[in-house]
Structure 1
């Protein structure tokens, strides 16, 4: 993306139901982690999730492979740097938390990326991971977004375990909208740059919000979330 597209994407992200609910999900996990420390947000784009970290008291660094995204994050007051997740210019064993939301599916060598996540973490540190799930949902949207793959619980588990991480919890997200995604030609709930109408934005947000209280995390969804620990 060029700087104009990055700016447009970030303005949409501030309002979009999908990003709003995912920021809320991140905030809930942070509250459960307890005392804030040092965090790095990988694939941070314009730093929306990084700002959630900062708001919850974390000393947070945004990392992205797009210079335009890094510049945009800095313009919003976020500490940010360029970096390749497969080989990051950051010290080992320095971070209490690594966030990698919708990053691993874009990396050709996702094993190297997962190993880097573990390398950055202190012993006992936490990794919060989000990926799209199930190749049966693969569509032109995945291609347009530059994804290499979608994951299953088994493939994501194997990736994280092989990297040396211990999985504390894995759950599905965007479960209730999965049927709509398949029924409407796999376009209804994809993450893109299109802005839905205020009504649609509100309805979709309400549906995903309901997953906060409904026990649907074990059912198939659109995304997989994982919380893992470094040894």
Structure 2
């Protein structure tokens, strides 16, 4: 998520509950529990460098930010280990990462993210949308913090029929459609400038290998090995087809077009000037 700040320090100055530790990480003095597994960032850290999923999402987000708000500071809410922030910072975008997890915050700092805040948005005194029950109220809070013409970049899981035990493990409360996400953004006062699906090719395998087994009670618990296996880039023909699918999606979005369906949604929304 993005707020168009002139520099990250101005964000820190607005927070009333942060202190800087010896590693240079800004930490909330009081922290509440969040709907995300404690080992989630550790599992992601093991696969982010080689995952086609993280790479493709980073490519799309970096393209949109570079095109629409290259001069602004990207405020990465729920930024985890700094995977997105690192890609943006490497592209010359000014970044500040906010994540409540100690592992994620320290991993992001090790990656070289300059401004890291270990906190939720609320605990900082200023969570991730699908992890928050009152999502419209949270979006309204984001809207208040944005400067006029500031942009919000948002990615969330798509389609309730793809719900599985993986969502329960990840602490999700819901999945979205582009229509439901657009409606919530408008209800919070935003103008939606772009909204599309991503990962169209993943809808059938997620439904067949996650959703149906979960409904039948056959889906096994999510482990680090499961995550690594599902995110690994395939070799041979399978890898070639996968990359072709990713290239088609990226080129459509680069040309200003939408993806008609997919396992994730991505949106860009603006606060009126």
With the shorter chain as reference, the TM-score category is 0.7 to 0.9
**Unmatched segments (≥5 aa) in structure 1:** 91-99
**Distance between the aligned counterparts of 2:167 and 2:186, measured in 1?**
25
- 2:77 aligned with 1:39, yes or no? no
* 1:134 match: 159
Give the SS at the match of 1:127.
Answer: strand
**Unmatched segments (≥5 aa) in structure 2:** 1-36, 213-221
* 2:239 match: 202
**Distance between the aligned counterparts of 2:138 and 2:156, measured in 1?**
13
Q: Which has the higher strand share?
A: 1
Match of 1:164 among 180, 189, 192: 189
**Greater alpha carbon shift after TM alignment, 154-163 vs 79-88:** 79-88
1:147-186 residue pairs with structure 2 within 5 A?
147-186=172-211
**Distance between the aligned counterparts of 2:206 and 2:169, measured in 1?**
16
Output the TM-score relative to the length of structure 1: 0.82
Distance 1:116 1:174, change over 3 A: same
Greater relative contact order (CA < 8 Å, ≥ 6 in sequence)? 2
Computing the radius of gyration from Cα coordinates, the structure with the larger value is 2
* 1:121 match: 146
* 2:125 match: 89
**Distance between the aligned counterparts of 2:129 and 2:223, measured in 1?**
17
**Distance between the aligned counterparts of 1:52 and 1:16, measured in 2?**
14
Query: What per-residue deviation string (whole Å, max 9, x for no partner) do you get for residues 128-167 of structure 1?
Result: 1111111111111111111100112332122211221110
**Distance between the aligned counterparts of 1:38 and 1:160, measured in 2?**
21
Distance 1:214 1:26, change over 3 A: closer
**Distance between the aligned counterparts of 2:47 and 2:61, measured in 1?**
19
Question: Aligned residues, how many?
Answer: 217
**Distance between the aligned counterparts of 2:85 and 2:173, measured in 1?**
24
Q: Work out whether residues 249 and 259 of structure 2, in 8 Å CA contact, stay in contact via their aligned partners in 1.
A: no
Query: What per-residue deviation string (whole Å, max 9, x for no partner) do you get for residues 145-193 of structure 1?
Result: 1110011233212221122111011111111221222233449xxx984
**Distance between the aligned counterparts of 2:79 and 2:193, measured in 1?**
23
* 1:95 match: none
